[in-house]
C-alpha cells in the first residue's frame, strides 16, 4: 500500500533522513521505533507531504534550505511531489505528535474541522458518532475549548480528528508520549480497535517499545535517519545488539 524508498531529508547542513525505506501492506499495523531524534516524525511528515510544505513556510529564513530525495508510493502511485492536501485526499492521515488542537475551538468543532474534505453531512455525522463511541470522554467534553483539555484528552482528540477524515492509512506519531499508564492503556486499546474493527492500516511511530510491539505485526527500527533492522517483536528482541543499542532494553 505504502512504499518509501531511500528517502533523504536535509535541513541546511543537517541530514535528518539518510536513505530511509519502508513498506506497509494494506491491513497491517507496522511499528516504527527508535530513540529521540532518530527521524520518525520527519519520515511521517515526509509521507504526509509536509516536508515540501516546510520549504514554503521556511522560505526566506535561514532554514529555507530543505532537500528531499527518494520516492514515496501509495497504492502504486508516486505521491512525493504532491501537495499535502492532495495526499490527504488520497486517504493518508497524519495524527501528529502532542495533538496540537485548535485551542480556541470546542472539542466538537475541532472534530468537525477534521472532516473538512467531506461535504456529505450524513457521513460527517456518522463519523462523529463513531469517534464519540470510541472516545466517550470526547463526547462528554464536546463543548469544552480544546486548549483546556488534559494531555491524554488532547491525544484522544488528535486521534479522533484524524479518524473524521476516514483515512485508509493513518500515520500515528507517538500517541503514548507523556501519558500516565492508565490513559496510555486506554489509548492503546483504541488504536487497536481502529486497526482491527475499523480496518484502518496504521504506521505507528513510538518510543514506547512495549506499546508498539504489543500491537504491531512488523516493525522498523530507525536510528540516525535510516533503518537499522526490521522484523517481528520476537525477532528484534532476540537480537542482543538491536535490543541493547537501539531499543534501550
Ligand atoms: N525543521 C527542522 N530543521 C532542522 N532540524 C530538524 C527539523 N526537524 C527535525 N529536525 C531534526 O531532525 C532530527 C530528527 O527529528 P525527528 O523529530 O524526526 O525525530 P524523532 O525520531 O521523531 O524523535 P522523537 O522520538 O524525539 O519524537 C532531530 O535531530 C531534529 O532536531
Ligand atoms: Mg517524533
Ligand 1 contact, 40 CB (< 6 A): yes
176 lines ligand 1 (CB under 6 A): no
Question: Using a 6 Å cutoff on CB, does residue 36 contact ligand 1?
Answer: yes
Nearest-angstrom CA–CA distance, 145 and 40: 30
Give the pLDDT of residue 57: 65
Indicate whether residue 41 lines ligand 1 (CB < 6 A): yes
Q: Which residue has the higher pLDDT, 152 or 225?
A: 225
Q: What is the largest CA-CA distance in the chain?
A: 53
Identify the helix (H) or strand (E) that includes residue 7.
strand 2-11
Nearest-CA residue for atom 27 of ligand 1: 36
Q: 171 or 210, which is more confident?
A: 171
Q: How large is the average pLDDT for residues 163-185?
A: 88
Q: At what angle do helices 121-134 and 107-114 cross, to 10 degrees?
A: 120
Q: Is 14 in the pocket of ligand 1 (CB under 6 A)?
A: yes
Q: Tell me how far the alpha carbon of residue 125 lies from the centroid of ligand 1, in angstroms.
A: 37
Ligand 1 atom 8, closest CA: 42
Residue 32: its pLDDT value, please?
96
Residue 119 and residue 107 in contact, taking contact as beta carbons nearer than 8 Å? no
Q: What is the pLDDT of residue 179?
A: 81
Q: Would the pTM of this model clear 0.85, i.e. be above it?
A: yes
Whether the per-residue pLDDT at 231 is higher than 60: the answer is yes
Instruction: Please determine, for residue 56, whether its predicted confidence score (pLDDT) is greater than 70.
Output: no
pLDDT of residue 169: 97
Q: Which atom of ligand 1 is nearest to the CA of 222?
A: 21
Q: Determine if ligand 1 sits within 6 Å of the CB of residue 39.
A: yes
- Can you give the pLDDT at residue 55? 64
For residue 16, which ligand has an atom nearest its CA? 1
Count of Cβ atoms closer than 10 Å to residue 139 Cβ:
17
Q: What percentage of the chain carries pLDDT values higher than 90?
A: 57
Mean pLDDT over each residue of the chain, to the nearest integer: 89
Per-residue pLDDT for 208 more than 90? no
Q: What are phi and psi of 125, to 5 degrees?
A: -65, -40
The full length of the chain comes to: 249
24, three cell numbers: 506497509
Condensed to tens digits (0 to 9), the pLDDT of residues 118-163 reads 778 898 999 999 999 999 999 999 999 999 998 888 888 999 999 9
As its CATH architecture, domain 2-246 has: 3-Layer(aba) Sandwich (3.40)
Indicate the domain borders of the chain. Answer: 2-246
Amino acid at each position: 500500500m505504502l512504499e518509501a524508498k531511500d528517502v533523504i531529508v536535509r535541513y541546511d547542513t543537517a541530514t535528518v533522513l539518510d536513505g530511509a525505506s519502508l513498506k506497509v501492506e494494506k491491513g497491517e499495523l507496522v511499528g516504527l521505533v527508535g530513540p529521540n531524534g532518530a527521524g520518525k516524525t520527519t519520515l511521517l511528515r515526509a509521507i504526509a507531504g509536509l516536508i515540501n510544505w516546510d520549504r514554503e513556510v521556511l522560505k526566506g529564513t535561514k532554514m529555507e534550505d530543505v532537500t528531499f530525495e527518494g520516492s514515496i508510493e501509495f497504492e502504486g502511485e508516486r505521491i512525493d511531489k504532491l501537495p499535502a492536501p492532495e495526499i490527504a485526499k488520497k486517504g493518508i492521515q497524519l495524527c501528529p505528535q502532542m495533538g496540537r488542537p485548535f485551542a480556541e475551538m470546542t472539542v466538537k468543532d475541532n472534530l468537525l474541522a477534521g472532516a473538512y474534505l467531506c461535504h456529505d453531512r450524513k457521513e460527517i455525522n456518522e463519523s462523529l458518532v463513531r469517534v464519540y463511541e470510541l472516545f466517550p470522554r470526547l463526547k462528554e467534553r464536546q463543548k469544552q475549548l480544546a486548549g483546556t483539555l488534559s494531555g491524554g484528552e488532547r491525544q484522544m482528540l488528535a486521534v479522533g480528528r484524524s479518524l473524521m477524515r476516514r483515512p485508509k492509512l493513518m500515520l500515528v506519531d507517538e500517541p503514548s508520549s507523556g501519558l500516565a499508564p492508565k490513559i496510555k492503556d486506554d489509548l492503546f486499546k483504541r488504536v487497536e480497535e481502529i486497526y482491527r474493527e475499523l480496518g484502518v492500516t496504521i504506521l505507528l511511530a513510538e518510543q514506547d517499545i512495549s506499546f508498539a510491539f504489543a500491537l504491531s505485526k512488523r516493525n522498523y527500527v530507525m536510528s540516525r535517519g535510516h533503518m537499522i533492522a526490521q522484523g517481528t517483536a520476537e525477532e528484534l528482541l532476540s537480537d542482543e545488539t538491536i535490543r541493547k543499542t537501539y531499543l534501550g532494553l
